[in-house]
Every structure is written in structure tokens, then in C-alpha cells.
Amino acid sequence: TQLLEQSPQFLSIQEGENLTVYCNSSSVFSSLQWYRQEPGEGPVLLVTVVTGGEVKKLKRLTFQFGDARKDSSLHITAAQPGDTGLYLCAGDFQGAQKLVFGQGTRLTINP
């Protein structure tokens, strides 16, 4: 069974601070995705990483895929209240053609 360990599960910080969310597994991913979910909505795709060592930036969000394709991180710089939400990592394991989700990180940015 492929498992994704996501941490922290809860994070509450002040506006302007930086934060990092981690996603780890003992299995190798063919790709890893990060989603953001707001109340009453389905998850919305932020990024897909495919290549080991890959780094992608989306405004103040930086996503990194580990060299061995077993882990990933999401770093937010100068967090804003609009960043508040549930962040989910999800791995697409080779040959599985389905997503396995981490536990999620519920992020609150306080003004």
C-alpha cells in the first residue's frame, strides 16, 4: 500500500511569515501533485511535478520534487490571508493510474 505522509497537518501563522509543507513516501512517484481546497469546493490543482529535483514556482509558492521522486515540499513566501485553505499532496504511483492523497495541511494565515 502506497502511503503519503504530509506534515504539518495544521499550521497557523501570521501574515508575512514563510512556511513549508512536506510530503514524504517510501515509494517512488511517477508524478506528484499539489492541490488547494477551499470550503464547499473540490480540490484545485496547483502544480504537477514529474522530474526528480524539479522546482516549480507559482508566484509566492515554490514546489520541489525530491531527487529520488519520493518526497516533495511546498514553500510559501510572505503568506497572505488569501493563502488560507487545505493543501493536499497527491501521488500518482507508477502503473496505478490513480491518486493517493496525503492527510492534508490545514493552513490559516492570520492578518
Binding mask 4-43 for other proteins (x = CB under 8 A): --x--------------------------x------xxxx
Residue type, 104: G
Q: Which residues contact 72 (CB under 8 A, 6 or more apart)?
A: 22, 23, 32, 34, 49, 63, 64, 65, 66, 89
The residue within the footprint of other proteins, chosen from 12, 26, 45, 52 (CB under 8 A), is 45
Give the residue with the Cβ less far from other proteins, 40 or 82.
40
Give the residue with the Cβ less far from other proteins, 12 or 18.
12
Give the residue with the Cβ less far from other proteins, 6 or 79.
6
Residues that bind other proteins (CB under 8 A): 6, 33, 40-45, 48, 88, 90, 97-104
